[in-house]
Structure 1
């Protein structure tokens, strides 16, 4: 967490990522190759959650392996403390930091997930979370499953970009600007922007099933991870507490609809989410006590959103179940 240059208490996210791309033509020196790369995520992280969702929707499990960092880490970065021996079984490293250092010695910026790692060299290729999902949906087309949906249809791209930009600014990052605000004024400004945007989204989704068009798009992939964490973490821990998600009928129905769609809810682990935020953010929660609630079983309640029409996967089909090693705990 860092403040801006004026020191006015506003949380500014460092978005200087490794922007090297993995592409079909290998223009950046990293061509798409089955088995060559490993996607590192953490179940706790909303930014990584997006990549996990798109990998599932595209059916890339057999060509892009998945490493899962545990929810608790120290200043040295995400660690693989859930794996046998505390090491990623493919990369052989204890902390994601090691893969960043193999790309650039003493890498000075945030060690973030998602990260795509070149397995032969053990070095991170990119941690540019926005580009990763777009490229998984396009550059990896030759290896996607039959029936993979188009999450970024050309005719809707301008609208998807506009909606996604507003969601990032006011909601995805907005909850962090509330939670990590350095003073009252910065917090209140972020809080107002967050709720103004959530009110607009509530209105938008009251008459349509998805954010853009009549199918799931990149815009929905970007909003869902924040909504999934809202009542469990952001409402209390980040002081985003005007209302709970469960008190917003359209957004709550929309979130449940996506949660119950293959590829979305099957990437969510509420226990790991809570463990990360409440333990790692000890400047906010110094006791390290992790709340037992809320009861997550409400996510499985009927949502009725089918009445609004829409086709979740467009002309595509749902993905199959996740591989056994990637399954998250059941809510029932």
Structure 2
């Protein structure tokens, strides 16, 4: 069983790290998630019901960050509570080490694995976030992250805030799905294929695929402000969380180093546009992002040293993407500020540039 200890400075250290690189092999992501859904009709046994479910996330994780953004854009905070795991974990589970006593205050468990085992006592697959948990039973419902955000848009409409944007409009769904497929296989997962490559040849194949598709997406975004249509959609959320991690983590730690995001003008401006949009930058914690990757992936970074850089001040500089037109929220409105308990500390966000004298 893995144990957590503390060093002389009081920082948590894990005695049983996970293994992420298989020597001689390509990285292959296991996408066999729990496919149970929470729907209006409750066809899977879990009907939409405000206050019943808890979204368990980690700000460090790009897949979980998507759900945080969508929940906030749609205004589902009062309908779906949120539990925050810390940025580091061992081979066993994400844990609630940010909470007093290391226990989630609603679920009353120290690790998300407990919710998985409550429903599946012999669960042998990865313990992942995001996960939707049924609070009354303490059982995980689903960890199918691509479906979770789609269902937030389509099944929870009765509880959307006034002015919530249409992130998955019916007339654009086919195009959104097509764009999402390419972004996932080549970019979202592509950075991991580079970072977890088990051979030089595997890495070089992954590297070529990643930057080829980044160039394709850059060309698309040179003509339009958002990926699909003239408003923010699910597609933009999915690309953003990878771009936000690119310079802090993927460029160095995962060797995705043909160029930094900040050296790709179109993608850098696009990412800044989204970062400065309510719901995106205010859910992005750069400190936890760096801690997660550099401390958890000890087979890539054995020292566990977390780099001080990069300079984040550019994230709040003008992007001029509004010149391409488009309306971020369509006929809707920006979300209000996040609840106090869910705010990212200013020290963990990109600094706001000082006004010139």
Give the TM interval when normalised to the shorter protein.
Answer: over 0.9
Superimposed CA distance per residue, residues 156-189 of structure 1 (whole angstroms, 9 cap, x where no aligned partner): 1111111100000000000000000000111000
Q: Deviation at 1:106?
A: 2.6
> 2:319, 2:231 → 1: CA distance?
17
What's the counterpart of residue 43 of structure 1?
59
- What is residue 98 of structure 1 aligned with on the other side? 114
1:202 to 218, 225, 228: 218
- How far 1:329 sits from its partner (Å)? 1.8
Match runs of 1:73-92 below 5 Å: 73-92=89-108
> When the two structures are aligned, how many residues end up with a matched partner?
330
Local SS of the residue matching 1:319: coil
- Whether 1:267 aligns to 2:283 is yes
Give SS of 1:160's match. helix
The whole-number CA distance in structure 1 between the counterparts of 2:21 and 2:258 is: 25
Whole-Å separation in 1 of the counterparts to 2:157 and 2:178: 25
The CA distance in 2 between the partners of 1:118 and 1:217, in whole Å, is: 27
Note the 1:144-155 alignment, pairs <5 A: 144-155=160-171
Q: Is the 8 A contact 1:38 1:118 kept in 2?
A: yes
The yes-or-no answer on 1:128 pairing with 2:138 is no
Normalised by the length of structure 1, the TM-score is 0.98
Shift of 1:129: 0.3
Deviation at 1:200, TM superposition (A): 0.8
Look up the match of 1:284: 300
Counterparts of 1:296 and 1:88 in 2: how far apart (Å)?
A: 31
How far off is 1:295 after superposition? 1.6
Residue 168 of structure 1 corresponds to: 184
SS at match of 2:39: coil
Q: 2:337 aligns with which of 311, 321, 327?
A: 321
Report the 3-state secondary structure (helix = DSSP H, G, I; strand = E; otherwise coil) of the residue aligned with 2:90: coil
State the SS of the aligned residue for 2:154.
coil
Separation in 2 of the partners of 1:216 and 1:127?
A: 24
Distance 1:3 1:283 in 2: 7
Query: TM-score, normalising length from structure 2?
Result: 0.91
Give a deviation string over 1:14-61, Cα, whole Å, max 9, x none.
111111000011111101111000000000000001100100011000
**Displacement of 1:297 after TM fit?**
1.8
Alpha carbons 1:2, 1:13 under 8 Å: kept = no
Tell me how far apart the structure 2 counterparts of residues 99 and 8 of structure 1 sit (CA, whole Å): 35
1:299 corresponds in structure 2 to 315
Shift of 1:154: 1.5
> Could you give the per-residue CA deviations for residues 266-318 of structure 1, whole angstroms, max 9, x where no partner exists?
11000000000000000000000000111212111111110000010111111
Gapped regions of structure 2 (runs ≥ 5): 1-18, 352-357
Unaligned 5+ segments in structure 1 are none
The one of 263, 271, 285 aligned to 1:247: 263
2:91 counterpart SS class: coil
* 1:216 equivalent in structure 2: 232
Give the 3-state SS of the residue equivalent to 1:68 in structure 2: strand
Q: Find the residue that maps to 1:117 and give its secondary structure.
A: strand
The alignment partner of 2:141 has SS state of strand
User: Match of 2:325?
Assistant: 309
For residues 298 and 120 of structure 1, what CA distance do their matches in structure 2 show? 45
